[in-house]
Chain A
Amino acid sequence: MMPSLLLAAAMFAMPDGAAIYERCLACHTLAHDAVGPRHCGVVGRRAGSVPGYAYSPSMRNSGLTWDEATLDRFLAAPTTVVPGTLMTYAGVPDPAERHALVAWLRQAAHDPELCH
Chain B
Amino acid sequence: MSKTIVETGPRVLARRGFLATAVTLSGAAVALLAGRPGLVRAAEAGSADAAILKTALGAEYNAIAAYGVGIDSGLLGAGAKKLAATFRDHHRAHADALAGAMRALKLEPIQPLAKYEFPVEQLKQEADVLAFAAGLERGAMSAYVGAIPLFGDRELARAAASILADEAMHWAVLRNALGQEPVPEAFFT
Q: How far is the CB of A92 from chain B (nearest CB, A)?
A: 8
Between A and B, 18 residue pairs with Cβ closer than 8 Å are A23-B138, A23-B142, A23-B189, A26-B140, A26-B142, A27-B143, A30-B1, A35-B59, A56-B51, A79-B48, A84-B46, A84-B51, A88-B56, A89-B143, A89-B146, A90-B147, A92-B189, A114-B1
Query: Which of B3, B51, B119, B140 gathers most chain A CB within 10 Å?
Result: B51
Q: How far is the CB of B155 from chain A (nearest CB, A)?
A: 17
Our count of residue pairs bridging A and B at CB distance below 8 angstroms stands at: 79
Q: Return chain B residues, CB-CB under 8 Å to A56.
A: 51
What sequence of 0s and 1s flags, for each residue 44-61 of chain B, a beta carbon within 8 Å of any chain A beta carbon?
001010011011101100
Are A22's CB and B135's CB within 8 A?
Answer: yes
Of the residues A23, A31, A34, A92, contact of B1 by C-beta under 8 Å = A31
Instruction: Report the Cα distance A34→B54, complex, angstroms.
Output: 14
B117-141: which residues lie under 8 A (CB-CB) from chain A? 117, 119, 135-136, 138-140
Q: Return chain B residues, CB-CB under 8 Å to A89.
A: 143, 146-147, 150
Give residues in A with beta carbon < 8 Å to B.
22-35, 56, 79, 84-92, 113-116
Instruction: Report the Cα distance A87→B150, complex, angstroms.
Output: 11
- Interface of B, helix, strand, loop or mixed by DSSP: helix
Q: Is B62 part of the contact surface with A, judged by Cβ < 8 Å?
A: yes
Are B147's CB and A25's CB within 8 A?
Answer: no
Q: Is B64 part of the contact surface with A, judged by Cβ < 8 Å?
A: no
B58-74: which residues lie under 8 A (CB-CB) from chain A? 58-59, 62-63
Q: Return chain A residues, CB-CB under 8 Å to B52.
A: 88
Are A88's CB and B51's CB within 8 A?
Answer: yes
Query: Which of A32, A114, A115 gathers most chain B CB within 10 Å?
Result: A32
